[in-house]
Every structure is written in structure tokens, then in C-alpha cells.
Amino acid sequence: MRLTPGDSPLLDSLLRTTPLLIRVATNPKYELQIIYTQINRDARNRPTFTPHTYHLNSRQYFNPASLVKLPVAALSLEKLNDLNKPGVTRRTIMATGTAYRCQTPVPFAAPADSDRTATVGNYIKRMLLVSDNAAYNRLYEFLGQQALNNRLAQLGHPNVRITRRFAPCDTTANRHTNPISFHNRQGDTLYKEAAKFNPTPYTSPLGRVLKGRAHQVGGRVIPKPYDFTTANYLPLSDITAFLQSVIFPESVPATQRLRLTAPDNVFLRRYLHATPHESGFHPYAPARYFDAYKKYLYYGRNPDLAYQSTLRIYNIVGMSHGYLADVAYSADSLHNAEFMLSAVLYVNQDGIINDGAYEYDSIGQPFLAQLGRVIQQFEVQRPRRIRPNLTELFRPEPIR
């Protein structure tokens, strides 16, 4: 295994512990990138962060897929706070109109079931619990493409690009976002804003981005690479830093902190770690949305693994176009251990993008599960001068 500049010898040695980890880490076709962050606490329980990286390269493009849902969720809560409109909260009924092609409406509907009502809070729950794409689209439209990316730049992520709905919309249509309104239960309008348009088209900071040897469109294989130039772009270091700012807001500079309230932070953290079943969110039946549904690191999305109540994983995942990613903070109350771990790999043996033939189950998810377990076992045994106090993370949380 050859280390590249910046690679951690510690992480390199941990990747040598099992055949699967070695096989993926030593084969460049998997385009593996890892960030393993050790967390140490002082006598006042304040954390410091020591990152260890493997093949981290922000200029090696990967499709972030649903990783973009965390920034969109957090910035939607922040926008509600900034609006500061009486009666408009994450629980307020939200209606979405149409004003351009490729836009779909969500008309006002009185709430028969609060878990199914169109609200910012419910959209966030759907995004974080089961990675719901339609919910993401609604909040992407609420933020607007230009305002979303401008705010990310202000928060220290100037090269990130979130430019697309998860829908077959062209680049111009994605620059147009819908009119939005908020209503009380009787249907009275509390706040509304017009459709938005980003006059400046975004492209990748990497220049033209072509991936794969071919791509499929409508069942037909086109013998040319897939063009990701105008697609979403979210480097692993940026989404890792963003998760850290959500879990540990005081650890980032004040200028890069989200304008969130304490209840906002509790809300986000709850649905980052909760499983669909334990969340109390009624639309998700355990038979379909099993506990490990969105926990690739450690569990590998294996429905047969028993979920451990002493281990909390706060994470966001991505799976699309052959790319598989998980960005997580893990807290273990049994051993008083904690760490952050982010990884992405590419599992597309035939090199054809959009054909649905990816090795998620056979290579990607087993790799992430094994990586998470190896790091977890190392962290449990790692000497610490002061063990973290994780009591606050494991307190019972109200279901709201």
C-alpha cells in the first residue's frame, strides 16, 4: 500500500487489518477517500479534533448524492430563524407553488396527520431518517439556489456547489425555484415569497468533470463518459466540517457557525442519529425501513444486525452513480469513546454510469461496515487521559 502526501500512517495501519480493507484501499479503481478524526476532551469536557486522512483529495470528484441533504436541512432551519415571522416555525404548514418548467406543487392541506403534513420539520425528518429525495427538493426550493450557495460560502465552503434537485430537471430549470408560502391550520397565509432565480450559472470548480467509460440514458448505453460538470459538488472535507459544526457548534469559528437555536440543534441531532423505527415518525414501518437502513459505517445497511443502544451514530449518507459515502460521528456510552469517520468509495466495475449495476451490496457496504468496526474497536482501546462525558448525548429526547 503506497501512502500519498498527507496520508496518515495510523490510518494506513488500520486499513491493513483485514483483507477487504486492504483490497479496496490498495486498488485505485475504488477512488477511496477517508477522514478519521480522533476526539480528545479536557477536564471541562471540551473537545479537540485530530484528523487522520487517507487519499483525501478535493480535486478527485465524487457524486455526493444525499450528503447534500445535511446542509440543506440545517440551512432551512437557519432561514426560518432569519425570517423571524410570527407563527412561522418548522411545524408550520408549508405550501409550494409552481412558476417554471420542471416544478411540481405541494398545495396547502389541513393537517389530518401531523407526521404527514408538509412542514420544514417533517421534510427534514424524511431527509435525515430515510434520505427522502422529494423532501430534499422542497427545501432546496425553499432556500433557492443562489442563497443556498452564498450561505455555504459564508460558512467557509466557497467551493461547494449544490445546484440540483433530485429530479430530471435541466441546469436552467434548477436555477429557478418555486414560490413558497406558510399557513396556519385554517389556511390563512402567514408568509409568502415569490419564485427565485439564480442569474449566475454554477459549474464545478474542477472544470469539466467526466466520469466512467459510458453512461446509460433511457435503457440505451452511450459510449461516452457521464458529464458531472454542473452536478452537485461537496468534497469530503467540507461535509465532514459541516457535520462537526452541527454536532459541536462551539468547535468552529463564530463566523462559521449556523444561526440555530438550542432546540434546532437538539432537533437536528435527534434525527441524525435516530433510526426510522425509534424516531416515532409514523410514516416509516420497520418492515421496510430497518434500523441499519442509513447506517453504512459499522452496520453496512445489514437488516439482520441488531442495533446497539449504547452506540449512537449521527450521520448522513450518499449512494448514487456508483459512489457510496457515509459521514458520521459515533458515540459509545458503554466504553466512553467517540470519534468522527467519513469515507467515500466508487464501486462501478463495468464503468457504465446510470445502468444500475453497482457493487454496493457486495463491496461498498461491507467495506464501510468493516471500516467502521475496525475504527470503533481501536477507539475503545485507545488510551485517553480524560474519558469523555457523553451523558448529554444519551439523555432521553422528546419526540417532536
Q: Where along the chain do its domains lie? A: 9-394
- Determine how many CB atoms are found less than 10 A away from the CB of residue 82: 11
The C-alpha cell of 57 is what?
A: 483529495
For the chain, what's the residue count?
400
pLDDT at 37: 98
Torsion-angle region of 108 (φ positive above 0: left; ψ -120 to 50: alpha; else: beta): beta
Q: Are 267 and 345 in contact (CB under 8 A)?
A: no
As beta bridge partners, residue 191 has 182
Evaluate the CA torsion angle 115, 117, 123, 127 in order and state its sign: positive
pLDDT at 175: 98
* Domain 9-394: homologous superfamily in CATH: DD-peptidase/beta-lactamase superfamily (3.40.710.10)
pLDDT at 218: 87
Read out DSSP for 20-48?
HHHHHHT-GGG--EEEEEEEEE-TT--EE
- 206-263 per-position pLDDT tens digit: 999 999 999 999 889 999 999 999 999 999 999 999 999 999 999 999 999 999 999 9
As a whole number of angstroms, the distance between CA 230 and CA 174 comes to 10
- Cα-based angle 73, 76, 82 (whole degrees, multiple of 5): 150
The C-alpha cell of 92 is what?
A: 408550520
As a whole number of angstroms, the distance between CA 364 and CA 367 comes to 5
pLDDT at 288: 80
pLDDT at 284: 82
CA distances in angstroms from 229 to 5, 207, 225, 363, listed in the order given: 27, 7, 12, 27
pLDDT along the chain (400 residues), means of 10: 75 96 97 98 96 96 98 98 97 98 95 90 97 98 98 97 96 98 96 97 92 93 96 98 97 94 95 90 80 93 84 97 98 95 97 95 97 97 93 75
Helices marked H in the chain — which ranges? 9-15, 19-25, 69-83, 120-130, 133-143, 145-154, 171-175, 236-247, 262-273, 296-299, 365-381
Specify the amino acid at residue 177: T
**SS3 (DSSP) at 180:** strand
pTM: 0.96
Torsion-angle region of 65 (φ positive above 0: left; ψ -120 to 50: alpha; else: beta): left
Read out DSSP for 238-271?
HHHHHHHHHH-GGGS-GGGS----HHHHHHHHHH
Read out DSSP for 104-149?
--B-----SSGGGS-BHHHHHHHHHHH--HHHHHHHHHHH-HHHHH
Contacts of 62 (CB under 8 A, 6+ apart): 31, 33, 236, 323, 325, 344, 346
**What is the Rg, in whole angstroms, of the alpha carbon atoms belonging to the chain?**
21
As a whole number of angstroms, the distance between CA 232 and CA 242 comes to 16
